[in-house]
Structure formats: structure tokens, C-alpha cells
Amino acid sequence: MWEKYKDIIPHIAVDSGVINTVADWVLLSGYKNVLVVCDPNTFRVAGDFVIKSLGAAGGRVAPCMFAEDEPLPNERSIGVLTAAYSPDIDLILGVGSGTINDLCTYVGAKVGCASAIVGTAPSMDGYASLGSAMLIDGVKVTPPTQCPVAIFCDVDILSAAPLLLTAAGLGDMLGKITAHADWRLAHLLVGEPMPEDIVSIVESALDKIINGAPYLPQRVPAVIKSVTEGLILSGIAMSLYGDSRPASGMEHHLAHFWEMRMLALGQAPALHGIKVGVATIIGLYLWQELGNELVGSAEQGVDFSFWSDSRANDLNESDTNEPRVSSTPKREAHTSLLIANKPKVSEIRRLYGRSSDAILQTQNPNLPISLIQDKWQEILDIAKALPSPEEIAKLLSALGAPVTPTEISISEELLRDSIVYARERKKTYTLLQLLGDLGCLEDYAGRACSYFAKNALAGVKCFVLDMDGTIYLSDKVFPFTASFLKHLEKTGKDHIFYTNNSSQNAAYYLTKLERMGIPVTPDKLMMSTHVLLEFLSDCPDIAGKRVFVSGTKALRDDFEAAGYTLADDDPDFVVLGFDMDMDYKRLSKLCDFVRSGLPYYGVHIDYNCPVESGFIPDCGSLAAAVTSSTGRTPDFFGKPSRYTLEYIIKKTGYKEEELCFVGDRLYTDIAIASGTKSRSVLVLSGETKQSDLAASKFIPDLIVRDLNELESFIVRS
């Protein structure tokens, strides 16, 4: 099947066992000095074998191994690779996937040396592509490079790759669905060429992959093979077309926009194909919305004169920073189609930073509305031919891959910004351009945000409610708490209360809740102290022993009641809680015990406790003082520790994915769900403000003003 692409890539081998043919091919092709490039992982998986077999066959091998497990395609890596290269080397042979391949083709093109790749994961479509995705000066660029002279993909090796890498490859391939819808749109509206032979290279590979995708979780080699072939063919299609159009559209624009913004904010973006998969689901949702609207409009008869009207006003308005929702009655009937579509200069400056000048200089004019009007039916046909976002999400979640923006740390704000502004980066015509031309881009961005918000709580059976800042503030119960709890009952959802605060014990909180009129039974109240006590009860060498507790009387009582002997001298282990009676003598003693190497446990990590006048230092701050003196940090137990999640699963019997943490603090209430299957909801009724989210590593699945607003998202299922 690869014979006809010989001019682009002389040798392609995708099959079981092709790793055994690498050395022979290299030497028979006349290469004598080979630079083999890998990282510690790919060395283990294939690099070691390639180096040894090349040596055994009589080739000269110079290995170049990156020190880090996941090298970045940046100046540092280019330096490492360039330093390992010498002019007598005639082939740079990469062993790896995305980054290693990009680095080898990039440096190969720079120094004028042929490059080849031994793939280790079916994770991206760059194997055969003419461009390398590089990160230069912190900015994502895709300089044209060279195609490799050979691609070896041993299906046995690729089948053993982590499923997340395979999911990334599947995501990158599924992205061709929206990419080709965009291509058809551009063909229709701006006459972009669409040669059938190139289109079908990608589309027939894609059909095969979609049919096989349900078998990917079992790593069926034939399906892994077809994904790999599809990824390579996509690269070939780009090379044949001379542009990325056959493999990339609005889904790639969204994915690149997220990557750029996240890197600028110092966050780690997900794998390329994982981002593309999520972006594809968003694209399909937008197409579905447009399709529904087009059908509706066609039935009612679309009033195009009206659209032209609003656009004429658009062009006349000098201040592009004002939102233009019109207030005339006639327009209100069509609000969704009339919100401003011209990019706001200040927003482009905010989002694109250094690159914004270049972007502002190359603004594309909008398409004449009459042109879109003429093609109405054909646009509807493109929309109707597409799968639903749910169908595609199902294929990806079967592999354990993220399918929503929050799962890959894309906040609602970033999602909205990307839908409205990602189109500024590339001047190719896509669905985003069309929505902009129709004047409904911001409206659709809002719809996409609420689509994902509604899905955020699907499958949740038990809500783990934080207490202070969530159901009450200090001593005042929120007026909506009682009705929220009734709503949970009505919708068949369970709940527990959980607090990190170890200055009081369960009896105190039960009384407090009862006094506030909140119905509660002891089994529905859990706290950080319980989690630590449960953990200790499973440690045979500690059970019943002498403990030094730095904490309030309530905490000390809890340890005594659990059968431990409170000891001020010669303890077997040390516990630090929210010690509101701490004095210098106790602090020194605590530090002595910790310094002597005794087992040391922190009840919870909270740095501050909110009180009416502001904050008072909490357990985490006291622990920080001990760390300064002793160099030791305790094992922490409350939220966000894994101990707490496991404790709740054990005590309630719910599965990880059936739990939803609700709370007002990012680094405890939201962090505990991060990287797990549990969901999280941030309430803004406590210590966190909306503006704190931009700098947060932890992104909630949903953000609400308070429990009152959360009610509307919880429905019987």
C-alpha cells in the first residue's frame, strides 16, 4: 500500500516484527554512520534493540539519549541533538513518537542529514508530515522541515504502548472529521481546492479506524495497525496537498490555542492528540447546534436582509471593544444571530501577547452574507453528515481518554476564549470563521460552555459537602442549605458532610449542625481526624501505642478514645492537628520528636482557617514552621489526600466516579478530585473568588455562586 508514496517517503513498514528489519534496511540503503536518538523510555522499548542490531550488522552507531523521560521540542533538546551530530553521520534515526520525530526531522533538515523514525506509539500524525511542531522561545511554531526517508512501526511494540498514547492517536485521527467538514466548507464558500484522491486517502483510513475503534481497549493488533496507517497517511496527505488542510481544521486551532495559553500561564497541557479529541467533540457540538438552527431557519424562512443589516452596522461602528447586542425589538427576536462577531482588539492583545501585532495586521474580511445565503442547503448537508459529539466521546472514553475540557484542565473561560479567538491564529476558513461571519460566535461559545457544564455531573450519586464556606459561614447557616439538601433527596442523590477542621470533634459538629436545623446522623459526618485514625488502625506496629498529639483537647480526646496513650514524653509517633492552643514549649517538643525521626502525621494541609475577621493560621502553617526547623514534612490526611478519597469510598460504598466533592477551596476541595474519576464543584460562597481560578492548577468540573445555584444542575437520573 505504500509503494505509490515512494517519492515522498521511500520506505514505510507497518507490521508485526518490522523492528527486525531496521538494521538491514539501514545498511542496504548505504548508510554507514547512524545517530540513534531516544529517551530513557524509548531506549527500553526499542532503542536498545536497534542500537545492538545495527552494531551486530556492522554499522557504526552513535547513541544520543535525552536525560528526561519526556523531552520537549525546544532549544535545549535541539542543542543536545545538534551537539551529538557530527558531519560523518549520514542518518539520524529517531526512536520514539511525537517529540523525538519532530526533533530528528527538524535538526536533520537544519544540518542537511537524512532522518528516519522507528515509531514507539500510535500517538500522533506527524510521522510523515513535512512540518515539525517545535517550541521556540516558548512559542509553538511549525517550521517546514523534511520527510523522513523511512518509517518503521512495529505493531507489536505499538500495541504495548500505554493506552493514553493510543487514545491520543485516535483523537488526532477523529479530528479529521471536523477538519474535513471545514475543508468542505472552505471549498464551498471560498473555492479552496479539494482533490478527491487526497480527500479519500484520509477519509477511507478514518472509516476503517472508526469501525475498529471499539476494539482498541483490547489492543487488537489489526486495529492498532489501522490507526498507525491512518496517522501516517494523514501526514502523506498533507505533504501531497502542500498544506495541513487534509489533517487539520478548527479542532487543531482550538488545541493549539489551549496549548499556547496554558504554556503562557505555566500550566502543563495534555498530549496533542488528547486535546484534539476533546476539541473535535466541541466542534461536532457546534456543528450540531448550527445544523439544528439551519433546519429551524429554513422552515421559518431565514430573514437574510436582517443579518445584512446588523453587519452593516458592525462595519460602521468604530469602537470594536463594545459588545453589540442590539436593543431594537426587531433584533431581539434574533439575538443569537446578532451578537458582535468582529474580534475585539483588546482581547487579541490579552490572549496573543507578542504575536498580536502580526495577527491584527492580517485580519481577514468577512464573507459577504449573500454568498453564505446561496450555499445554505449545502452547509446544512455538511452538518447533517457528521456524527454526534456523544458518539465520538464514547469511542474516546472507552480508552479512558478525557472527553471534556475540564478533564484536561481547560477552564470555562479558556474554552470560551478559544472558540471566539482561536480563529485569529490561522487564516484558513473553518466553522469558527463561518460562525463569526454569521455573527453568532460568542453565542455559540456560551452554548458550548453550558453544554459541558450540564454534562459535568452525569453519573454522580453522592455529594461530599464541605462545611465552612459551603453550607455555613462560621456560625451562620446559609439560607439555601436546607432547601439544597431537600433537593438532593428529591432527586435521589446521597450526601455526606466532610470537614478538614480538626480543632473540634464529630460530637461538636453534630451538635452544631443540629442547632442550625441541618438534619444529620453520625454516619453522614466525616472528618480528617477519622481518616488518620482509620489509617493508624491498619498499622500493626502503631496500634494502641504512645502518641504525642499537638492539637486541641477535642483532638487529644479522639486519640484517647481510639485507645492510644497520650504521652508528652517518649512517644512512639507524633500527630499535628489544628493546634489552637499551641505554645512555644509544645512547638519545641514537637520539633524535637520530629527531628528524632519518629513517624509524623499531619491531620490536614489547610494553611488558614477563615474566621469572621479574616484568617487564622491552620494545621498546614504550623507544619510549615516544623518543616523550617526540622526539614521534615508530615504525611497529610484530610482533603486533598488520596487517604481521604479512599476512606470515603470504603465507608460509603460508592465508586470513585459516583462521588462529587463540593467546596469553597481550590487546593483541598477541588484538588482531591483532580486526576481522579470523582467530580468537583467550586462554590464561590466561601474563600475563593472567580479571579483566583486563573492561577489555579486545579480546575473544578463546575463553578457555581453557591449551593442554591448548584440545585439547577442536579437532576434525577
Q: Is 102 in the site for Zn ion (CB under 5 A)?
A: no
Which residues inside 337-366 make contact with Zn ion, applying CB under 5 A?
none
Smallest distance from Mg ion to CB 684, Å: 12
CA distance 648 to 658: 11
User: Residue 653 — left, alpha, or beta (φ > 0 → left; ψ -120 to 50 → alpha)?
Assistant: left
Contacting residue, 126, 469, 599, 640, with Mg ion by CB under 5 A:
469
Of residues 352 and 667, the one with the C-beta less far from Mg ion? 667
Smallest distance from Mg ion to CB 515, Å: 19
> Which does residue 442 bind out of Mg ion, Zn ion, none, counting CB within 5 to 8 angstroms by kind?
none
CA angle (550 as vertex; 603, 590 as ends), nearest 5? 110
> Which does residue 469 bind out of Mg ion, Zn ion, none, counting CB within 5 to 8 angstroms by kind?
Mg ion
- Number of residues in contact with Mg ion under rule CB under 5 A: 4
Burial classification of residue 516, based on how many CB atoms lie within 10 Å of its CB (0-12 exposed, 13-18 middle, 19 or more buried): middle
Q: Considering only 70-78, 233-241, 543-551, 660-668, which stretch makes contact with Mg ion by CB under 5 A?
A: 660-668
Of residues 277 and 469, the one with the C-beta less far from Zn ion? 277
Where helices occur in 57-195 by DSSP H, the ranges are 75-84, 98-111, 155-159, 163-190
Of residues 289 and 669, the one with the C-beta less far from Mg ion? 669
Q: Is 664 in the site for Mg ion (CB under 5 A)?
A: yes
Smallest distance from Zn ion to CB 418, Å: 16
- Number of residues in contact with Zn ion under rule CB under 5 A: 1
| 384 Cβ contact partners less than 8 Å away, ≥ 6 residues apart | 291
Smallest distance from Mg ion to CB 644, Å: 14
- Closest CB to Mg ion belongs to which residue? 469
> Which does residue 148 bind out of Mg ion, Zn ion, none, counting CB within 5 to 8 angstroms by kind?
none
Per-residue x/- mask for Mg ion, residues 395 to 434, rule CB under 5 A?
----------------------------------------
Measured over the CA atoms of residue 41, residue 45, residue 49 and residue 51, the dihedral's sign is: negative
CA distance 193 to 200: 14
Of residues 172 and 706, the one with the C-beta less far from Zn ion? 172
> Which does residue 249 bind out of Mg ion, Zn ion, none, counting CB within 5 to 8 angstroms by kind?
none
Of residues 172 and 229, the one with the C-beta less far from Zn ion? 172
How far are the Cα atoms of 135, 154, 558, 639, 664 from residue 648, in angstroms, in the given order?
42, 44, 19, 11, 19
CA distance 517 to 520: 9
Q: Is 466 in the site for Mg ion (CB under 5 A)?
A: yes
Place of cell 439560607: 479
Q: Considering only 8-16, 52-60, 171-179, 348-356, which stretch makes contact with Zn ion by CB under 5 A?
A: 171-179
CA distance 23 to 510: 72
Residue 92: how many CA atoms within 13 Å on its side-chain side? 31
Contacting residue, 424, 468, 618, 711, with Mg ion by CB under 5 A:
468
How far are the Cα atoms of 39, 324, 581, 597, 626 from residue 573, in angstroms, in the given order?
43, 65, 20, 9, 15
Of residues 239 and 696, the one with the C-beta less far from Zn ion? 239
Question: Residue 285: which of 399, 456, 452, 454 has the closest Cα?
Answer: 452
Contacting residue, 39, 102, 154, 172, with Zn ion by CB under 5 A:
172
Q: Which three cell numbers stand for residue 355?
A: 504575536
Of residues 274 and 520, the one with the C-beta less far from Zn ion? 274
Partners of residue 608 on adjacent β-strands = 617
Smallest distance from Zn ion to CB 275, Å: 9
Smallest distance from Mg ion to CB 706, Å: 12
Smallest distance from Mg ion to CB 687, Å: 7
CA distance 388 to 368: 29
Q: Is 389 in the site for Mg ion (CB under 5 A)?
A: no
User: Residue 112 — left, alpha, or beta (φ > 0 → left; ψ -120 to 50 → alpha)?
Assistant: left
> Which does residue 172 bind out of Mg ion, Zn ion, none, counting CB within 5 to 8 angstroms by kind?
Zn ion
CA angle (534 as vertex; 533, 537 as ends), nearest 5? 85
Of residues 466 and 711, the one with the C-beta less far from Mg ion? 466
The 3-state DSSP class for residue 452 equals helix
> Which does residue 466 bind out of Mg ion, Zn ion, none, counting CB within 5 to 8 angstroms by kind?
Mg ion
Residues of this chain that interact with Mg ion (CB under 5 A) are 466, 468-469, 664
Residues of this chain that interact with Zn ion (CB under 5 A) are 172
